[in-house]
Every structure is written in C-alpha cells, then in structure tokens.
Amino acid sequence: MITLTNLSKIFRTELIETHALRDINLQVNEGEFAALTGPSGSGKSTLLNILGTLENFDAGDYLLDGISVKGLSDAALSKLRNEKIGFIFQSFNLIKDFSIYDNIELPLRYRGLKASERKQRIEHALELVGLHARRDYLPGQLSGGQQQRVAIARAIAGQPRILLADEPTGNLDSLMARQVMELLEQINQQGCTILMVTHDPDQARRAGRHIQIIDGQLSDAVLYDPLAAQSA
C-alpha cells in the first residue's frame, strides 16, 4: 500500500543542511498498524508528514497504492489527502469556534459530498467515538481525551485507507490515552491501515509493527517482532 524507495529529505538553511531522512526504504501493507518510534529529532514526524503529503521530499520515491505522489499537482495531492488519508494530530487541531459536528464535517465538505451523506457519516463517526450526545458542543467544552476522539472521528468520517497519527496520546493522561489507543485498535480491526508516531514503548508494543528511526534512517528494529519481544 505504501512503498518508500530511497526516500531522502534535507532541510536547508543559508548555513547548514540537515539530512532529516536518508535513503528510507519501507513497505507498509494494507491493514497494518505500525508504530513509528525514535528519539526526538530523529525524523519520525517528518516521515509521517511526507506520508501524509504535507511535506515534500528531495530524493527517492513514494508510491501510494502504486501511484507515485512525486510531481502530483496541488489539486491531486489535496484530493489524495482528502480521500485516502486521515490525520490525527497531537494537539488535536480542532477549530475552536466550530461545533464538534462542523469540525468533523470539514474533510467531507471538501470532498463535495451531499449534506445527507455527510450527516450519515458524521453520525456514524460520532457513535464510534462515543460523542454523539456532544455533537453541538464547542471543542473548548470537551476534555482533552474527548477532543482527541473528535479528531479521530474527523479522521475516520472520510473513511480513509490510511490513518496517520502523530503522537495522538501525547497530550493525554494515561486513562484517556488508553481509551484512544483502544479506539485506534478498533478502527484498525475494521481494515484501516494506521501509522502512529509515539514515544510510548507500551503503545509501540500494542501496534502490530514497530518501525524505529534514528538519525533519519530506519534502524534494525524495523524487523521488530512482537512475539520475540513478548518472550524476551
């Protein structure tokens, strides 16, 4: 589903060049739940942003469903993001003066769906995250965990093929973090591929696959085996 071949990313300033990612080769199959870990500044968020087409890369190739995203127009990239990718951000990124319903509706608006279909999808997503009763609330009236569940509802309402989560529990306490993880697992079980950046080893362990980045390169832990980890 996702194929990265010799993918590199360099951040340039007037004085220095920083190789954020070097020769990344990675294959993610449909339905996988992969955790992306690594020290701060290792390039995991950069990789996630490239996978979400929020950022360009300098070399190599990125195939999504067999199609190279390199050279796609802004409109094509927007369509791809809208239809195939769902985002969950650490800081939720909800629009504070829009209701929960309106926030979840955002990606559906840009897909040009009819009002009735949008409503059906939003209600289904709200049911899934258990916030149906709070559809008219503003984000500020919800707890952090609830806001992240709204963000998850927004991400899944578009029925994406891939969910990209950048430290989705980073701002939550342990109880809320567990609830969010359970929700993500539930979504993954329904067939959605998930790539999640996390610093939490427990969460990484709960994912079916562990991808580790150090200094912009995939480390040996790419071949992380959950069974081996359990026996150890």
> Is the CB of 70 or the CB of 96 nearer to another protein?
96
| Separation CA 167–CA 173 (nearest Å) | 13
Nearest to 48 by CA among 62, 59, 60, 68: 62
Residues in 48-107 at the binding interface with another protein, rule: CB under 8 A:
49, 52, 54-55, 74-75, 78-79, 81-83, 87, 89, 91, 93, 95, 97-98, 106-107
Q: DSSP 3-state assignment of 183?
A: helix
The encoded tokens of residue 135 equal 């559809």
229 scored as a contact of another protein (CB under 8 A): no
| Separation CA 31–CA 142 (nearest Å) | 31
Angle at CA of residue 80, ends 78 and 83, nearest 5° = 105
As measured in angstroms, the least distance from the Cβ of 189 to another protein is: 24
| Separation CA 110–CA 79 (nearest Å) | 9
Q: Which of 37, 42, 45, 169 binds another protein (CB under 8 A)?
A: 45
Compose the 108-147 pattern: x for residues touching another protein by CB under 8 A, - for all others: -xxxx--x--------------------------------
Nearest to 211 by CA among 196, 200, 193: 196
As measured in angstroms, the least distance from the Cβ of 47 to another protein is: 11
> Is the CB of 103 or the CB of 179 nearer to another protein?
103
Binding site for another protein (CB under 8 A): 45, 49, 52, 54-55, 74-75, 78-79, 81-83, 87, 89, 91, 93, 95, 97-98, 106-107, 109-112, 115, 154, 158
